[in-house]
């Protein structure tokens, strides 16, 4: 099974930059998108053989997730609703579910979760919110993983290790590379999950999925690896390949992918 994830930084804009050509050439079984910046009905985009699911932010032109899939899910859930299906007593504040950041598809053998993790923003103005969101999301994944294995993909807005960005020393206290954000990723992986790319390629450097639009960063490959496929540990031996596709343009992120036998 081939899976693709891409933060498109606005799907309507990306469509004008060759999105459909890449989608068709990728030939993925599941294709997940983040930062769609869409409300329902704002785009007419369909691909033969694929069903489409989406979760939009309440705020127009902001955030949002979408999944195209050839596989037919048992159920679709937005936000933390897949958790509620298992634990109806869960009480989650509305502020953590208003931005369209989580889309979950349940299949017979696994959950597929498309996520767009909140950015801590400049001056770390949203770091506290981010930490609370991370704790909720980790508990959510643990709950689903207790029921069946999970595959999580998306823009997780953190470079976990120094190898995951070009300039770790100068970015130590910047959003996406704070000790707090990196610590939350460590907590997640320690709770029974595997970073598929680092599982296969623990020492591969200069492998990035996001570049600033400033300073010709992409041309110089001054980037960050902040887009992931994370699986339950029970699936790690089924991982066949994990890849990053920096040759694909259309966004400040590039697609990342996973091939897995499941």
Residues 6+ apart with CB under 8 A from 168: 159, 162, 177
Tell me the helix, strand and coil percentages in the chain, rounded to 5. 30, 25, 45
Q: Which of these is catalytic: 22, 53, 111, 116?
A: 116
Asked if 62 is an active-site residue, the reply is no
C-alpha 197/C-alpha 153 separation (Å) is 12
> Could you give the residue ranges of the DSSP H alpha helices within the chain?
11-15, 19-26, 81-86, 127-145, 179-190, 196-200, 217-220
C-alpha 175/C-alpha 31 separation (Å) is 27
C-alpha 240/C-alpha 44 separation (Å) is 34
C-alpha 100/C-alpha 98 separation (Å) is 6
Q: Which of these is catalytic: 22, 53, 114, 155?
A: 155
C-alpha 99/C-alpha 79 separation (Å) is 9
Asked if 109 is an active-site residue, the reply is no
- The catalytic residue positions are 116, 155
């Amino acid at each position: 099974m081939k899976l693709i994830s891409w933060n498109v930084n606005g799907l309507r804009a990306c469509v004008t930059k060759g999105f459909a050509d890449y989608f068709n050439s990728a030939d993925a079984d599941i294709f997940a998108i983040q930062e769609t910046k869409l409300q329902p009905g704002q785009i007419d985009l369909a691909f033969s053989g694929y069903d489409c699911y989406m979760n939009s932010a309440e705020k127009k032109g902001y955030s949002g997730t979408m999944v195209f899939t050839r596989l037919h899910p048992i159920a679709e859930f937005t936000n933390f609703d897949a958790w509620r299906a298992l634990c109806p007593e869960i009480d989650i504040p509305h502020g953590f579910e208003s931005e369209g950041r989580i889309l979950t598809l349940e299949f017979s053998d696994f959950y597929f979760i498309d996520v767009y993790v909140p950015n801590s923003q400049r001056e770390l103005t949203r770091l506290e919110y981010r930490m609370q969101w991370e704790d909720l999301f980790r508990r959510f994944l643990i709950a689903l993983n207790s029921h069946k294995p999970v595959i999580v993909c998306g823009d997780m807005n953190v470079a976990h290790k120094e190898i995951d960005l070009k300039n770790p020393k100068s970015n130590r206290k910047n959003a996406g590379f704070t000790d707090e954000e990196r610590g939350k990723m460590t907590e997640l992986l320690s709770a029974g999950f595997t970073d598929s790319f680092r599982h296969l390629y623990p020492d591969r450097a200069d492998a990035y999925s996001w570049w600033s639009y400033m300073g010709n960063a992409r041309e110089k490959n001054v980037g960050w690896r902040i887009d992931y496929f994370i699986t339950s540990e029970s699936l790690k031996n089924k991982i066949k390949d994990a890849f990053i596709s920096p040759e694909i343009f259309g966004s400040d992120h590039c697609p990342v992918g996973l091939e897995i036998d499941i």
